[in-house]
Amino acid sequence: MLNVFFHEFKRLCLNKTVQALSILSVLFTILLVYVVISNTRYGSYESPAYRSGLDAVAHARTVYAPSYGSVTAEKLESALRTYQDIAEDYPEGEMPDALREKTTAPLSPLLRLLSYTYETRDISVDAAADFYRQREARINASIKEQYPGSPAVQNAAKNINQRVETPFYYAYGYGDSDGPEFLVFLLFVLVFFGTVIAAPVFSEDYHSQADDIQRCCRYGPQLGTARLMAVYVLVLLLVTVCTGIYLLSLNTVFGWEGLKASLQTRYFTTAITPMTIGGVMGATVLSGILTLLATVSCAMLVSSRCKVPVAAVSASVVIALLPVFFSFLHIEESVLSSLLPSAGVVSSSGFYQMLTEKSLEFFNAGDLVLWRPCACLLFAAVEIPLFGGLAVWSYKRQKLY
């Protein structure tokens, strides 16, 4: 069996389409790293303090250093008081740039947490001291509004939120860039490329009739499993190399300390996900790997049923893109869309969005409650052996036709 696997893996690696897509994946990863860094900005374009690219990253790490550490209520209260004492002497938007750089700019990461949590811009210093209570109140209100007749969901949300560590921790880094969003895009592209690689694996030999000869060989009955494993190993190597290049590059540039920051310090103060930026990054990669394997397994199943490679690739690509079509139709929150193998890497409703801006979404049926991020991982984990097993079974049954 091992010899058959190595032979199939070697044959797959020598395929020119596979080689081209692998090289393209690495080049695309490097391009995304460049885009994330070059899109980083500090200050407004008209300001003398404006910076972009590596200069903006280095400057922001220096300027925001006073905000590093635990985000206590006292720290928020002090930051707001400092800002209000200085800002009251100037009309809105007319504070001198030099003064802003020395006084309020270092407090920006703390001040933005207040603006994301309170529904009014007129926040008093006393209200800032109640930041964490206000956050809890907003979460409870949102849950009751979304699931008014589901106490089980409300209790589940409260239990998850209780695991969020407070006070939050802040440090500038990967989470302050566009890196998390582009990571989802990278995983989506890798899923697409993986689908194109896997789709013709069986159907190519059907079409050329080489499969008729291969089945007569000594190891013919093992070909289905060997090819499935070869594709799995190839796409796993591809996603490991690409995400490794991407994350190592960006975290080296933005600083590894930023991975310790609470998720809630990145625009999502009311998210109930009990993770740091680093935890979300790792979970997103894990979800991407499971999604990739599930989608590839589905493509292999389609390939085992199609005798024309073009038909196999076309059908597999359509299935892989179905969650995108569903998002355009605004039905991405249904159970059906979540069951699709590639649902975890859709930019508008994928796993990363479930952890962040859509962390208050649950699937519930009476007393059965399932948090959507957990459902996404569970569905993908089940689909891998399901579609993979069906692909091998279908390939073995093909000899009867």
Which pLDDT does position 257 carry in this prediction? 95
Give pTM, 2 decimals. 0.92
pLDDT (average), residues 329-348:
78
Tell me the percentage of the chain whose pLDDT exceeds 70: 93
Say if residue 399's pLDDT is above 60. Answer: no
Say if residue 138's pLDDT is above 70. Answer: yes
Which pLDDT does position 337 carry in this prediction? 77
Confidence of residue 352 (pLDDT cuts 50, 70, 90): very high
More confident residue, 132 or 126: 132
Whether the CA torsion 16, 18, 21, 26 is positive or negative: it is negative
pLDDT (average), residues 115-144:
86
Token digits for 264? 């809630």
Which pLDDT does position 225 carry in this prediction? 87
**Are the CB atoms for 364 and 150 separated by under 8 Å?**
yes
Of the listed ranges 164-168, 193-197, 332-336, the least confidently predicted one is 332-336
Say if residue 387's pLDDT is above 50. Answer: yes
Tell me the percentage of the chain whose pLDDT exceeds 90: 61
Nearest to 245 by CA among 65, 32, 71: 32
| Sequence-distant (≥ 6) Cβ neighbours of residue 385 within 8 angstroms | none
Of the listed ranges 50-59, 205-214, 286-295, the least confidently predicted one is 205-214
Of the listed ranges 53-62, 243-252, 392-401, the least confidently predicted one is 392-401
| Sequence-distant (≥ 6) Cβ neighbours of residue 301 within 8 angstroms | 387, 388, 390, 391, 394
Say if residue 189's pLDDT is above 50. Answer: yes
Tell me the pLDDT tens digit for each residue of 219-239: 666 778 889 999 999 999 999
pLDDT (average), residues 348-376:
89
Which pLDDT does position 136 carry in this prediction? 93
Q: What is the mean pLDDT of the chain?
A: 89
What b/e readout covers 13-36, taking b as 16+ CB neighbours within 10 angstroms?
A: eebeebeebbeebeebbeebbeeb
Say if residue 81's pLDDT is above 80. Answer: yes
Which pLDDT does position 209 carry in this prediction? 67
Nearest to 197 by CA among 20, 324, 382: 20
pLDDT (average), residues 293-321:
93
